[in-house]
Structure formats: C-alpha cells, structure tokens
Structure 1
Amino acid sequence: MSAWLISLEGTEAGRTLATGLALLAAILHAVFGALQKGRHDPWLSRGAIDASYCLMAAPFALFVVPWPEPHMWPIFAGAVVIHVGYKVLQAMAYSRGAYTVVYPVVRGTGPLFTVIGAWLIFGERFTPVQWGGVAVLLTGIYGLALYNLRHYVLQRETMPLALGLAVATGVFVALYTTYDAYGIRAAADPFTFLAWFFMFDGLSILPIAYARWRAMAVRPALGPLMARGVTGGVVAFFSFGAIMLATRLDKVGQAAVLRETSTVFAALIGWLVLKETVGPRRIALMGLIAAGAVIVEFGG
C-alpha cells in the first residue's frame, strides 16, 4: 500500500485522494474535539485518548512497518514537543470556554498560519482566487465564533482567557500541520512515520493527565473514561492519519484549509448531539465556510 500511495504523489489521482482525505479528517476532527470536550475533564479525556492510540500504534511501529531511518529520530522528537504544546493549550482553552466558541477560533487561526508556513517551507503559492477563498472561510469561522460568543451565557468570566488560549492553540495547529507534513515527506515510508508518531505522541501527555487524576478529590470512574479513550483513539488514527497523508500527496496549505470545514461538522454535532439551536445566521455562516473551502479547492 505504501508503494501505491507514493506512486500517486504529484498526480491528479493523488490530488483527488488528498481532497477526500482532508474532508474525512474534517469530519473526524470535529468528532475528536467533541470527545475531548465532553462530560469528562479535557485533560483526562486527552490522556485516555492518547494512551489508547499509543497502545494501538505500538505493534504496528515495532513489528509491521519498516524501521525509521536515522534522520527521523530528531524529527519525531520535534513533533512530540510541538504536539505537547498544542495539547496543553487546547486543554486549557476547553477548560475555560464553551466548545462552540473555542473550537471555531482554534480552527480559524490554524489554516491562515499553515498557508503562510507552507509558503515559507515548501514554496507553495496560492492564487488570488484561493486567497479569496481563505478570506471567505475565515469570515465564516470567526463569524460563527462571535455569534456563539454573543449567545452563550456559561463561563462568561473565563471566556476572554479562553479565546486567547484558542488563538495560541490555532498557531500550534499551524505549526504541527506544517512540521508533520515535513516529517511524513522526510520518511521513506509514510506509514512508518504515522505508526511511530502515534506511539511517541501517545506517551507525551500521560504524566500530566495522571497527575491531574491523582489530585482530584472525586476521581471519575476509569471504565467510561477509557471507553471514551478507545473511541477517541480510533477517531484520531483516521483523522490525523488522513490529514498527514493528504499533506504528503498534495499541497499542505490546501489540505489544511479543507480540514477546517470541521467547524461546520462541529456545529452540526452541537445541534444534533448537544441539542444546541442552529438558526438561519449560523447556517449562513456555515455556508460561508463551505463556500470558502470550495473556492480554495477549485481556484488553483
């Protein structure tokens, strides 16, 4: 499968597959975010998810995929450091702000800086039409965040800090997206990068999650928490794996923008699962996000 995937790089079929993978990542990333923000403490949810996908990845990393080349070890170390920063900031933001407000800000900040990073590192260029699409998408995402902020009454006192943390988290989203794209392109076998990345990354946040669980006066039952972790681990494999493969097959910036249609799916989750109201204004803003992604995809 690795040889087939590598053969698609730079081809029209590869671009089509990258588009599908980026949209799959968008849907699953919204699910992943909702799982982390759910009824459990975000730190504990993240720890359970990471522990699960670490255990799932270990057999593949150790016994299935080819062993990483020597130059990959420092790349893995850098990825772990960046992802720890992202996870800490995201958990802090989710602890202080409503999911429907924080999530769009995170996802809106990420693609703008990713497009800039892809230009600086990979020499990618967006056409004026594509930049217009980015502007339309960001207008929809930030508009959705502002709308939710005005109509969400809980956690108002911590919301300014939550929004600041959300912007910082978005910068780290851009950083890890660009860096991971560099990492998966540096590996001879993309699945080697994925397996070892998930194993190393799954270990990184566990000490923080365990310390937080130990310090709780009333500790949540481990059964439901780990069940959520297993579900989240499977979702993470397909979500993060899909976007990483997409960035190897096609433009990093373009894949990153398409992934941010996850904000639309997050709003749908809020409506269908969390029973939040979705009025005509939110529908219009979600339409802008989708329109922006379409412009970016076909404006090249």
Structure 2
Amino acid sequence: MSAWLISVEGTDFASRLAMILALMAAVFHASFAALQNGRDNPWISRAAIDVALFLLAWPIALFLVPWPHAEHIWLFVGVFVIHNIYKAFQGMTYARGAYTVVYPVVRGSSVLATVIVSGIVFQEVYSIWQWSGVLSLVCGIFGLAVYNWRKLQVGRETLFSALGLAVLSGIMVAAYTTFDAYGIRQMPDPLTFVFWFFAIDSITIPLFVFVWVRQGRLSLSAIRPLVARGLAGAVLAPLSFGCVMMATRLDSVGIAAALRETSVLFAAFIGVLFLKETVGPRRVCLMALIVAGAILINVG
C-alpha cells in the first residue's frame, strides 16, 4: 500500500485521493469524538482508548512496518511533546465545558490556524474559492458552537475558561497537523510514521492512570466499563489520523485539514441518526454552510 501511495504522489489522481481521504478522516474523527462525548470523565475515557492503542500499535510498529531511521528520532520527540500538550488542553477543555459547545470551537479555530500556518511553512497558496470555502466552513462550525451555547442550561459558570482552552486546543491541533505533515513527508514509508506515532503517543495517559490507581485516586472499576469504548477508539483513531496524514502527504496540508473539520457536520449526523437528537432550521442552515464550504474547497 505504501509503495502504491508513493507512486501516485504529484499526480492529479493524488489530489483527488487526498480530498477523499480527508473526508474519510472527518467521518472517522466524528465517530471517535462521539466516544468522548463528555458523559464520562474525559481523562478516564482517553486512558481507556490509549491503553487499547498501546496494545494495538506497538506490535504493528515493532514487527509489521519499517523502523524509523536514526535521523528521524527527533521527529517523534516533537510528536510526543506537541501531542501531549494538545491532550492536556483537550482534557481540561472537556472537563470544564459542554462538549457540544467546545468541540466546534476547537475544530473551527484549528481550521483557520492550520491554513495560515501551513501557508507559511509549506508555502501553500489558496485560490479565492478555497478561501471562501474555508471561511464558510469556519462560520458554520462556530455557528453551531454559538447555537449550542444558547441552548446550554448547565455548566455556564466554567464555560468561558473552557472556551479559552478550546481555542488553545485548536491552535495545538494546527501545530500538530503541520508538524505531523512535515514528519510524514520525511519518511520513506508513511506507515512508519503513522504506527510509530501511535506507539509513542499512547504511553503518557496510561502511565498517569497507573500512578493514580497506585495512589488510590482512581479505581479500576471506573475504567472497566470503558473497555469496549477503548477498543473502538483504538480502531478509529489510526483510521482518522492515517487518512488525514496520507492526505497531507499527497496534497495541500491546509485544505486536507479544512476538509477534516467537516467532522463537525458528520458528528451532527451521528447525533441525529443514533442519538435521536432533533435538528431545527437554524442547525440545518449552519450545516449547509459547512457543506457549502467543503464544496467550494473542492471546486477551488
């Protein structure tokens, strides 16, 4: 698979494939985000996912994909630092604010930040249609956050601090997306980056949970009910991350990141189809803005 992906790099087909992969990443990410929908402690939910990821990623990294070269070790050190800062901000955000409000803020702020940063780092240039699509996408995403905020009945006392952390989380999404896009472009085999990333990234939170259990601050009984959720997350996370990273290797980093954030739209669909949430005319209009943004980006 890696050899085939490398063989199509730089072709028109690669650009089309990158857009498809970015949209697939959005679907997987929305499903992954639904696993952390705020009903449980976000730290414990993430720990359950990372434990399953640890058990899945290390055997694949050690035995099924090529090992990274010595000159690439610094990339994984950077990955470890940036992603752990992001997870710290994300956990604090979800602990303080309603998921339906803060999640769109994280994803919307990450779109703008990633497009700007990738334009600087990778000298990417976007057409007027693509900029229009990005702005339409961001307006729709932030509009959903405002809509959900107005409907919020509880948790308002910590909401403003949560929104500030959500913006910082979005900036960290832009930082890791740009850094990871650079990293995967340095690898002879892109799957090396994907699976070694997860092997390294899945270490931190399970270690903290182990310490908390030993100290008596956390009971294993709180984690056991989340085993199934952890296993599902361990499958969805590599699919989402792998798709968007392949997209950034094949084509524009900023556009791939923008299309990935249509995950907010797919999350709304999941809420309607599986959680039986209602969708009024305002939410329909905001979702239409997101769809319009994705179409404009593709037209551009």
The residue that corresponds to 1:278 in the other structure is: 279
Which aligned pairs between 1:110-259 and structure 2 lie closer than 5 A?
A: 110-212=110-212, 215-216=216-217, 220-259=221-260
Displacement of 1:40: 2.3
Partner of 1:17: 17
Matched residues, number: 299
1:217 Cα deviation from its structure 2 partner: 6.5
For 1:218 and 1:179, how far apart are their aligned partners in 2? 36
Q: Which amino acid aligns with 2:175?
A: L
* Map of 1:293 onto structure 2: 294
Q: Which moved more, 1:275-284 or 1:256-265?
A: 275-284
- What is the CA distance between 1:237 and its match in structure 2? 1.1
Q: Distance in 2 between matches of 1:84 and 1:35?
A: 19
Residue 97 of structure 1 pairs with residue 97 of structure 2: yes
Deviation at 1:210, TM superposition (A): 3.6
Identity %: 55
Identify unmatched segments of 5+ residues in structure 1: none
- Alignment deviations for residues 34-83 of structure 1 (CA, whole Å, 9 cap, x no partner): 21235321101111111211211111211111121112111001001110
Q: Give 5+ residue unaligned stretches, structure 2.
A: none
- Please say if residues 26 and 260 of structure 2, whose CA atoms lie closer than 8 Å, have aligned partners that are also in contact: yes
Deviation at 1:18, TM superposition (A): 1.0
Give 1:21 shift. 0.9
Distance 1:72 1:281 in 2: 48
Q: Secondary structure at the match of 1:93?
A: helix
Question: Equivalent residue of 2:203, what SS?
Answer: helix
TM-score w.r.t. the length of structure 2 is 0.95
- In structure 1, what is the Cα distance between the partners aligned to 2:119 and 2:185? 16
Instruction: Say whether residues 1:85 and 2:85 are aligned partners.
Output: yes
Q: Does the C-alpha gap of structure 1 residues 219 and 55 become closer, same or farther in structure 2, counting only changes over 3 Å?
A: closer
Give SS of 2:188's match: coil
| Matched-pair contact (CA < 8 Å) for 1:43–1:212 | no
What is the correspondence of 1:63-78 to structure 2 with a 5 Å cutoff? 63-78=63-78
Note the C-alpha offset of 1:16.
Answer: 1.6
Opposite residue 225 of structure 1, the aligned amino acid is L
SS at match of 1:148: helix
C-alpha spacing 1:49/1:116, structure 2 compared with 1 (3 Å): same
1:244-265 superposed Cα distances (whole Å, 9 cap, x missing partner): 1111011100100100100111
Output the CA distance in 2 between the equivalents of 1:96 and 1:34: 17
Give CA deviations for 1:199-251 in whole Å, capped at 9, x if unaligned.
Answer: 00111222233445555476644332122111111010101111111110111
* Cα-Cα RMSD: 1.5
Contact 1:134 1:292 in 2 (8 A): yes
